[in-house]
Amino acid sequence: MRSSWFLAALVVCGVFALVPARADAQIYAWRDPSGNLVLSDRPKDPSARTYAVATTGTTRVTRPLSAQAARYENLIQEHSAANGVRPELVRAVIQAESAFNPVARSEKGAMGLMQLMPATAAQYGVDNPYSPQQNIRAGVAYLKSLLVRYDDRVELALAAYNAGPGAVEKYGGTVPPYRETLNYVDRIQGNMRQSAAAPPSGRLYRSVEIVDGREVVKFSNKPTEGSELVTRRIR
């Protein structure tokens, strides 16, 4: 029995590496009536054993969409699909440009969710840059044109969106060494990774590999050849 719960502790550690985490988090483990090991972030069984798991710098945190961002998600999905642009990129640009404020206006005259400059708005037939539908349509189309121009090099497309294509060309097709632009590119790419992080499967699979003549047990939320279902995770 002791070895069984030692295995449970190992499973907990494996699962926690796959799921969103918070500081001072706890995971609860118990056996269901069929003898299967069940893991949860809530003590749903009186026999559950508790494991405290400290977060680390490598823990992946998946952030849900804010209420403001969710309001425009259908438009983001629609125009991202129409232009072949990743929605997480569009989402991250809007967050950086306007924090999802549809009436935002910069000192330089950029307007709306994706902060369209007047010339860009006119180029894409926008008569009301504060209309979320028009703004996202034009902003995504413009972003797509930059991705095409720079052979899908996202960092250059973002640099051009922020500082203008002329600045990218001025520095030989590289990200201009402007502090604002460098921070902008880094921030958006970081937001993209968080936006794209998908919640893991609710199932856990166990597989055994032979390494240097010894059995090495591995756990994953995706089935592989020869793996077996170990647990169901309850949220």
Residue 86 to residues 6, 51, 114, 153, Cα–Cα distance (Å):
42, 38, 15, 13
Whole-angstrom distance, CA of residue 37 vs CA of residue 100: 43
Say whether 97 is catalytic: yes
- Pinpoint the alpha helices (H) of the chain: 2-16, 67-70, 73-83, 87-98, 118-123, 132-149, 154-163, 165-170, 179-196
The answer to whether residues 89 and 98 touch, using CB atoms and an 8 Å cutoff, is no
| Residues in contact with 180: Cβ distance below 8 Å, sequence separation at least 6, in sequence order | 162, 163
Q: Which of 88, 97, 180, 225 is catalytic?
A: 97
The token duo for 206 is 């166990």
- Burial of residue 215 (CB within 10 Å: 0-12, 13-18, 19+) is exposed
The residues assigned a catalytic role are 97
